[in-house]
Amino acid sequence: MMMNVPFRVTSMLEHAEWYFAKKEVTSRTMSGIRKFSYREIGERTRRLSSALKRLGVQKGERVGTLAWNHHRHLEAYFAIPGVEAVLHTINIRLSPQHIAYIINHADDQILFVDQDILPLVEALKDHIPNVKAFILMTDEDELPQSPLQPLYHYEKLLETGDPAYEFPQNVDENDPVGMCYTSATTGNPKGVTYTHRSTVLHSMSLGLADGGSVSESDVLMPVVPMFHVNAWGLPYAATWFGSKQVMPGPRFTPQLLAELIEMEKVTFAAGVPTIWMGLLQELEQNSYDTSSIRAVICGGSAAPKGMIKTFEEKHNIPFMHAYGMTETSPLVIATRLKTYQSDLDDEAKLDYKAKQGYVVQGVEMKVIGANGEVKWDGHEMGELLLRSNWIADEYYNDDRTEGTFNDGWLHTGDVVTVDEEGFVKIVDRTKDLIKSGGEWISSVDLENAIMAFPDVFEASVIAVPHPEWQERPLACVVLKPEAKGKVPKEDIVEFLRPQFAKWWIPDDIVFMDEIPKTSVGKFLKRTLRDQLKDHYMTTAKS
């Protein structure tokens, strides 16, 4: 028999304090950029844990954060589990109603709030009666006037804390340490609770050489917000492995990201496609030294092929496409070409890179189509089912658990194909597939093709009701600023024709200034569908 040492989130910070005490965290806050060593981060975190204890935070209680990516948020990532409470990172881009809902649903007792997010929380004051105290993460010396009471000053609270506070060692690895809510297509957001065990195992998977391969030699910049699936778990992994971290802070711009990459010599950066689109535009306009980057990792929505190609061929930046969900911690699938695939021509390699990839070690999948498990032929479509030690097996106090978590598998709601190499390609959300005359059309495939048209900035394809075919694809397109008003619809249609069967070609193209997006940058197809549901009636009349 072997030892059974409980996995513990705070052990990851202890490791950094012991072995990587001199390594740095670069943090951008409202007042500028500052640097902290892991020794300092460790000491400040211990102070914060001890102050939270003194404020009366109890084991299992939820403590919320409404904050950007910076050192104080990193400290809260460890200090809250450090008193056996549960870190609830709140997505500040949700609607105020949804933010109030999740604060109440999680029953948050204390809220950490960034200075610029304070007005948002003040406006919610009367709707979150159970919150007992607020802690302002501010660079200012004094607290502002606020109706939120009691309101504590983060730095002054740290001064009252004990730098030698000991994190509890005998924890149950299955105790909760974190919570995130994910937006539902309809209704309120759904909560997922992470444990010590799931968090440590997921962090370990981020360090696998054939996974994220996060290591001590990395300079890691999580651009993905710390309120979106814990910045994909990267702050935990980076701390444990002793990587230098670069935290871009509040309301950053593509220019700032490019400057940070150059100044801090970032090796690995993580974000959603809209972030990378913005960075590409910046790199087109101004020149930066990006040679330090070993990879950018991109997930959350499908990365268009044209974008991957530009990153790799024009800027020499390797691009890693990955897939995950709030329910999956999130990293479960990533593209890594196999050694023998290096013989493929560039176009074939790009095809693989544009797929989401194959499951990381420790994750199992099956894909269920109309007739059971689908063939791995790259064509047959089915729903992706996943299981792993870092995948949730329920939603927090929510009857929507039923239907999503069945027979020990997470039913992702994503429709995929799998090829002979095991590479998964997300074809659509089950709800976004377009059913034309009884046959399925993938909106994602069409979007990717349209986004490869040189004048197109972004595109979203939706199903609109059709009198004869039930549904037909309609393309919503945003042109690049310099091309606005100059591109006829027919040019885009002609561009698509050789690539798809005739019946896949969108019936019409609607030019827009902007595509509505969710709080985490995904196309809000529901809104588009609502706006354009009468498209055929309108076009028939006109």
Of 391-410, which residues contact ligand AMP (CB under 6 A)?
none
Residue 277 C-beta: closest distance to ligand AMP, Å: 14
Q: Return the amino acid letter for 153.
A: H
φ/ψ of 324, rounded to 5, equals: -170, 175
- CB of 17 closer than 8 Å to CB of 38: yes
- CB of 239 closer than 8 Å to CB of 211: no
Supply 8's token pair.
């513990």
Supply 244's token pair.
């230098």
Q: Look at residues 30, 37, 98, 42 and name the one whose alpha carbon lies nearest to residue 70.
A: 30
Binding part of the chain for ligand AMP, among 5-13, 163-171, 317-325, 373-381 by CB under 6 A, reads 317-325
CA distance 479 to 458: 7
Angle at alpha carbon of residue 41, lines to 64 and 324, rounded to 5°? 50
Residue 301 C-beta: closest distance to ligand AMP, Å: 5
- Compare residues 182 and 230 and give the one whose CB is closer to ligand AMP: 182
Q: In the stretch 332-371, what mask flags binding to ligand AMP with x, by CB under 6 A?
A: ------------------------x---------------
Angle at alpha carbon of residue 281, lines to 275 and 285, rounded to 5°? 145
CA distance 257 to 259: 5
Angle at alpha carbon of residue 290, lines to 289 and 291, rounded to 5°? 95
**Contact with ligand AMP (CB under 6 A) among 212, 222, 233, 330:** 330
Of 280-309, which residues contact ligand AMP (CB under 6 A)?
299-302
- CB of 75 closer than 8 Å to CB of 28: no
Residue 100 C-beta: closest distance to ligand AMP, Å: 20
Tell me if 326 contacts ligand AMP by CB under 6 A.
Answer: yes
CA distance 525 to 516: 8
Of 462-501, which residues contact ligand AMP (CB under 6 A)?
none
Q: In the stretch 214-243, what mask flags binding to ligand AMP with x, by CB under 6 A?
A: ---------------x--------------
Binding part of the chain for ligand AMP, among 148-156, 325-333, 465-473, 477-485 by CB under 6 A, reads 325-333
- CB of 181 closer than 8 Å to CB of 228: no
CA distance 134 to 146: 11
Tell me if 429 contacts ligand AMP by CB under 6 A.
Answer: yes
Residue 308 C-beta: closest distance to ligand AMP, Å: 11
- Compare residues 229 and 492 and give the one whose CB is closer to ligand AMP: 229
Q: Which residue has the tokens 């689908």?
A: 374
Helix spans in 57-109 (H)? 71-79, 96-106
- Compare residues 45 and 182 and give the one whose CB is closer to ligand AMP: 182
Binding part of the chain for ligand AMP, among 153-161, 316-324, 341-349, 374-382 by CB under 6 A, reads 316-324
**Contact with ligand AMP (CB under 6 A) among 102, 325, 359, 492:** 325
With CB under 6 A as the rule, give the number of residues binding ligand AMP. Answer: 19
Tell me if 177 contacts ligand AMP by CB under 6 A.
Answer: no
Q: How many CB atoms lie within 10 A of CB 528?
A: 21
Q: Return the amino acid letter for 415.
A: V
Q: How many CB atoms lie within 10 A of CB 351?
A: 16
- Compare residues 118 and 322 and give the one whose CB is closer to ligand AMP: 322
**Contact with ligand AMP (CB under 6 A) among 69, 245, 412, 442:** 412
Q: In the stretch 46-75, what mask flags binding to ligand AMP with x, by CB under 6 A?
A: ------------------------------
**Contact with ligand AMP (CB under 6 A) among 321, 353, 472, 535:** 321
Minimal CB distance residue for ligand AMP = 326
- Compare residues 184 and 348 and give the one whose CB is closer to ligand AMP: 184
CA distance 492 to 334: 31
Active site (catalytic) residues: 182, 327, 435, 440
- CB of 451 closer than 8 Å to CB of 459: yes
- CB of 224 closer than 8 Å to CB of 272: yes
Of 508-537, which residues contact ligand AMP (CB under 6 A)?
520
Residue 357 C-beta: closest distance to ligand AMP, Å: 8
Q: Which residue has the tokens 């990201």?
A: 257
| CA-only gyration radius of the chain, Å | 24
Binding part of the chain for ligand AMP, among 216-224, 262-270, 324-332, 450-458 by CB under 6 A, reads 324-332
Q: Which residues contact 394 (CB under 8 A, 6 or more apart)?
A: 401, 405
Helix (H) or strand (E) segment spanning residue 455: none
- Compare residues 42 and 191 and give the one whose CB is closer to ligand AMP: 191
Q: Look at residues 384, 337, 333, 385 and name the one whose alpha carbon lies nearest to residue 362.
A: 333
CA distance 313 to 157: 50
Of 87-146, which residues contact ligand AMP (CB under 6 A)?
none
**Contact with ligand AMP (CB under 6 A) among 26, 49, 65, 182:** 182
Q: In the stretch 252-281, what mask flags binding to ligand AMP with x, by CB under 6 A?
A: ------------------------------
Where on the chain is the footprint of ligand AMP (CB under 6 A)?
182, 229, 299-302, 321-326, 330, 356, 412, 414, 426, 429, 520
